[in-house]
Structure 1
Amino acid sequence: MMKITSARVILCSPGRNFVTLKIETDEGIYGIGDGTLNGREMSVVSYLSEHVIPVLIGRDPRRIEDIWQYLYRGAYWRRGPVTMRAIAAVDVALWDIKAKLANMPLFDLLGGRSRDKVLVYGHANGTDIEHTSDEVGRYKEMGYKAVRAQSGIPGVKGAYGVGRGDMYYEPADASLPTETVWNTGSYLNFTPKLFQRLRDVHGDEIHLLHDVHHRLTPIEAARLGCNLEPYRLFWMEDATPAENQEAFRLIRQHTTTPLAVGEIFNTIWDCKDLISNQLIDYIRTTIVGAGGVTHLRRIADFAALWQVRTGSHGATDLSPVTLGTAVHFDTWVPNFGIQEYMRHTPETDDVFPHDYTFRDGCLHAGEKPGHGVDIDERLAARYPYSPKQLPIARLQDGSMWNW
């Protein structure tokens, strides 16, 4: 029987913090998994080190399903972002090992290609409408066929999506949360003007996406969806908090703008009703957020029954390990929609060598056995953990709101 001989957490910050799990076996094959939880990294480090790694030693790494069930059912305290990211780190590392054992790229182990390339979207973020339009043009010049557009809003301090720098937006910015101020009325009046300008300048061929970031009530989201219909968005993302899945029924009744949600979901139970009632068009749950390849595959298969497609989250707080694994998953999954692709810094790419590539607006999975991503531990050691937290949002009267 093949055995897991060791597992350890590697915490590093090459431009931002990442939690990486490395599992080693008695046959000299190892696997890499990602357990990063932006702004709460140390909670996953502790969960892995204190509770998960001790029960892995001596187990057969080929028994991926049994280990997944053991970590999920055996914990009693199920679900949640910390638990599911720890499970995801283990699960992805085990799939990496198994694909290496089979001498196959991960997409082949999953069942082979459903497509030759993976459509991705980038992030065009500007301080105002003209700046955002210029950024959309820059992404088009880089070959992107789909772009998410966010803009600063007059009178709104710290509008979501307007980052520091041109390519590597990272909202976690301080050891204690910074505060932003939100104004729903200003946002609702401004956003249709942004997309009218983008269509006027860039035409109808480019796919345009937009992230509301959970800022609206259901009826406000319905209004925005109606007002954006002339500009034919690829999707409107996270229109309202989804703890109440029924809220999306109200939005759906009022607009044909496609709806996407799910980057903060942890299990199939967070999206079961949204999918089965066809209240969304894209499920954005991630490999790292939803317990790895094993569980995301179940979510995708369930979604396919209802003609809901995948659109996995892919911001910089997901390490190249998750992105590389996602590209393999996207290459295989039949009901693929699109993949978010926010580029990592050069320092991150050096720490995590990988064989996925970008060209012609798409990511292409490599052919190396496994998920094709590794970690340079010596280089990682040069970038120690740097505590950072995500901002918070308040309304103008000082009350808390959804960041």
Structure 2
Amino acid sequence: MEVKKNHKIVGRREVLKGLGFGSAVGALGIFGGLPDASAKEMKETPSYARGMAPITIKSVKAITTRPSGSNLIVVKVETSEPGLYGYGCATFTQRAFAVLPAIEYLNEFCEGKDVDNIEDMWQSAYVSSYWRNGPVLNNALSGLDQALWDIKGKRANMPVYQLLGGKCRFAIPCYAHANGKTPEEVAVDVQKFIDQGYKYVRIQQGGYGGAGITGTPDFKKAGFAKETDGYMDQRTYLQSVPKMFELVRKVCGSEVELLHDIHERVRPIDAINLIKNVEQYDPFFIEDPFSPENMEWFKQLRATTSVPIAMGELFNNINEFKNPMVNHWFDYIRIHVSQIGGLTPAMKVARLGEFYGIDTAWHGPGDVSPVGHAAQAHMDYAIWNFGIQEAAQFSDQLREVFPGCPTMNNGYMSVNEAPGFGVEVNEKLAAKYPMTTKSSWTIRKADGTIIKP
């Protein structure tokens, strides 16, 4: 660029100096890109000289174990830097053995890739098979994703929650699980947790769907189906839940927050009526009223009752959350983090929830590994729109296999301050508890008809 000044030709550098940019012009290379010499220097400078040295993936492998009755799978990502590795949860208990070949595939796919490029690796692994959204690959991908975050925390010498924005709370409020065959037994269990400092308790009578409060079903008397198949009397369950809420409120008072999980085990219209019937007992939330195939029933549910709803543990894809969130169909994001593909996609859903007034409530059952529970806890620290966390109880065997497990105290979960997720895996000890069974989840009506969870 040239302009005339007092009949002289003035170049762009002089114009910029006159505007006050001075010597910064040459350094910034404004309007002309980098000067030729600087551009050449940048091209010839190795990437590791401009920041941390690049570290690549050496291997992706599965560690399997079963120290406390649940098949657990943890992915270990080893890197080109000796001694630097990460762990991530890939547990899919119901189809655990199917996940192992998917992890082998990721080993070949990821070898040599830069460990820092988590988003790129997630996206490429997710779509490279063309077909996607399945729980088997998603769980394997979750293990990879979480392990890369663990590595990133170790490289930064920080807990992962610091990389997500730091703490929003000093510890993580959790809800406990109370159970019993009668309302009275449930109330006793609730009081036990209140005495331990819990302010939130989920109440179930006879387990999910009241399966433990019914007799021998007709289909078993007839020799139909497998002996191990479960039975649920849906009518008995629907009648028992309001009575359970009533008695627990009477015995334990109004200060404790009560939760309940329908577990998608009744007809949508029956779930709506049940939620309406327990509204007077002020539930903190009711979980999973409908299966993913029956989402259209949320419109009727929202028009019928204002009870808060938690939903989403059966969703495989983050896009399944968009429409329910836009329409405010539920209040708590109930993601099973390994099912959705790991920390990276789970954080995206959590951030979206903040815009719609929807809080998180990650799914944290006993068949999530301690590595997975730690990953959830680190997100819980960093998410502003955190709602509640399902409590995790770790046996002595689990703590031996997974040193550094999160801890529970007075109803709160905490993690240690070690870099990454802070959980290690004793691989030799893990090998002493091999996965030995293939799990199935089959619940039937009295005549033998399958009940969909």
Are 1:111 and 2:165 matched, yes or no? Answer: yes
Residue of structure 1 in register with 2:117 after alignment: 63
Of structures 1 and 2, the larger Rg is shown by: 2
Give the SS at the match of 2:348: helix
Contact 2:370 2:406 in 1 (8 A): no
Are 1:192 and 2:235 matched, yes or no? Answer: no
Q: Report 1:3-402 matches (<5 A).
A: 3-15=56-68, 16-27=70-81, 28-49=83-104, 51-152=105-206, 157-158=211-212, 178-402=228-452
TM-score normalised over the length of structure 2: 0.82
Structure 1 residue 270, shift from structure 2 partner: 2.1
- Quick one: distance in 1 between partners of 2:292 and 2:60? 35
Contact 2:178 2:186 in 1 (8 A): yes
What do the CA deviations read for 1:76-113 (whole angstroms, capped 9, x no partner)? 11111111111110000000000110011000011111
Contact 1:222 1:252 in 2 (8 A): no
What do the CA deviations read for 1:136-170 (whole angstroms, capped 9, x no partner)? 111112221111111129x965369xxxxxxxxxx
Give the SS at the match of 2:93: coil
Structure 1 residue 298, shift from structure 2 partner: 0.7
- Quick one: distance in 2 between partners of 1:58 and 1:242? 38
TM-score normalised over the length of structure 1: 0.92
- Quick one: distance in 2 between partners of 1:338 and 1:2? 36
- Quick one: distance in 2 between partners of 1:215 and 1:177? 20
Instruction: Return 186-195 or 243-252, whichever deviates more.
Output: 243-252
What do the CA deviations read for 1:209-247 (whole angstroms, capped 9, x no partner)? 001111122221111111101111111001121223222
| Unaligned ranges ≥5, structure 1 | 161-175
Output the amino acid matched with 1:222: I
Give the SS at the match of 1:317: coil
Give the SS at the match of 2:385: coil
Instruction: Return 285-294 or 191-200, whichever deviates more.
Output: 285-294
What do the CA deviations read for 1:242-269 (whole angstroms, capped 9, x no partner)? 2232221111111111111111212212
What do the CA deviations read for 1:25-71 (whole angstroms, capped 9, x no partner)? 1212100011110121011111111x111111111111111100111
Name the structure where helix makes up a greater proportion of residues: 2
Q: 1:156 to 1:288 in 2, by over 3 A?
A: closer
- Quick one: distance in 2 between partners of 1:158 and 1:39? 21
Contact 1:11 1:385 in 2 (8 A): yes
Output the amino acid matched with 1:109: L
Q: 1:344 to 1:177 in 2, by over 3 A?
A: farther
Q: How many residues align?
A: 386
Output the amino acid matched with 1:363: M
Structure 1 residue 119, shift from structure 2 partner: 0.8
Structure 1 residue 204, shift from structure 2 partner: 0.8
- Quick one: distance in 2 between partners of 1:361 and 1:108? 23
Output the amino acid matched with 2:347: R
Instruction: Quote the RMSD (CA, aligned, Å).
Output: 1.7
Output the amino acid matched with 1:248: F
- Quick one: distance in 1 between partners of 2:65 and 2:314? 23
Give the SS at the match of 1:112: coil
| Unaligned ranges ≥5, structure 2 | 1-53, 215-225
Give the SS at the match of 1:363: strand
